[in-house]
Amino acid sequence: MKSAIRVTAVALLLSAAGCLESEPLGVPVRGRMHDGDELVQFSLLSALAAGDYAGGAPLQQLLQFGDFGVGTFDRLDGEMIVLDGDIFQVKADGTVVPRDGAGATPFATVTFFEADGQLDGIAASSLTELDHQLDRRVPNAKRPVAFKVTGEFAELTLRSAPPQKPPYRPLAEVIDQQQVWTRQNVRGTLIGVRCPAWMGTLNVAGYHWHFLSDDRTIGGHVLDCRVEGARGAYDECSSLLVRLPDSKSFDAADVSSVSDADVEKIERQRGKEDAH
């Protein structure tokens, strides 16, 4: 972990040539650069599930690893949407707040979205049906894939969660505090990540969907949706980068305790609906 003190001729050259960003993540090593086709996740789902909600990676850093993705915020304060390089926070009361680089994320998954293919005529009467349709149309089950689906949604079931206070309880317990609401006839975008089964409990195996309306007033973690005539695009990733938190709480977290049943509950359970 001493990369910060590695200073090479390449670094000096890059620095002198103005090639480095004003706030580089680290001193460059042998001039090798990220190729942008990575799915990048901050921390492990199993650590979040164990209650490691505090702090995490600076949001400013997150944007250096992707312009598209999903996640949550410090203390589990709402759902994160990263779209076109902008970060939005959906609070438990449904409010959508644009975020700048201040703040941190204990868990997020991003990539630089570069479409590998287009998807037209998407119609699904449920989120499960959408998942199955995308499984058929983008069959590669070995690589992480990012999905963007835009259209007029006849119905959406969304959720978010309120911020937690220490001592933090496991996610499968606090998820009962989630707020769930439905909205009809909303134009917007589904932001999705499909993780291959081999990723196990590093992330959410299968699909993970968040939503943001075109007018940036409605969003959240998607539990269900109904849509016709939507259009989409997908980006297959060739690598997975897992960035581990540099914190005592992460080192102490019991990341072995999360079960598939917990993940199902955390990510897909449809809670008690309340129309607000």
Closest approach, Cβ 98 to its own copies, in A, equals 21
For residues 65 and 110, what is the distance between their CA atoms, to the nearest angstrom? 7
For residues 246 and 91, what is the distance between their CA atoms, to the nearest angstrom? 26
The DSSP-derived string for 155-187 is EEEEEE-PPP-SSPPPHHHHGGG-EEEEEEEEE
Q: Which of residues 195-254 bind its own copies (CB under 8 A)?
A: 197-198, 200-202, 235-244, 246, 250-251, 253
The pattern of x and - marking residues 29 through 48 that bind its own copies according to CB under 8 A reads: xxxxxxxxxx-----x-x--
Task: Check binding of 19 to its own copies (CB under 8 A).
Answer: yes
Task: Check binding of 68 to its own copies (CB under 8 A).
Answer: no
189, 148 Cβ separation under 8 angstroms? yes
Candidates 17, 102, 261, 275: give the one binding its own copies (CB under 8 A). Answer: 17
Q: Which of residues 157-196 bind its own copies (CB under 8 A)?
A: none
Which distant-in-sequence residues (6+ apart) come within 8 Å of 61 by Cβ?
25
Task: Check binding of 140 to its own copies (CB under 8 A).
Answer: yes
Distances (CA, A) of 81 to 9, 98, 140, 150, 261: 39, 10, 25, 14, 25
For residues 37 and 27, what is the distance between their CA atoms, to the nearest angstrom? 21
CA proximity to 188, closest of 160, 154, 159: 154
Task: Check binding of 257 to its own copies (CB under 8 A).
Answer: no
Closest approach, Cβ 181 to its own copies, in A, equals 34
Closest approach, Cβ 182 to its own copies, in A, equals 36
Task: Return residues touching its own copies (CB under 8 A).
Answer: 1-3, 6, 10, 13-14, 17-21, 24-38, 44, 46, 64-65, 112, 114-116, 140, 142-143, 197-198, 200-202, 235-244, 246, 250-251, 253, 255-256
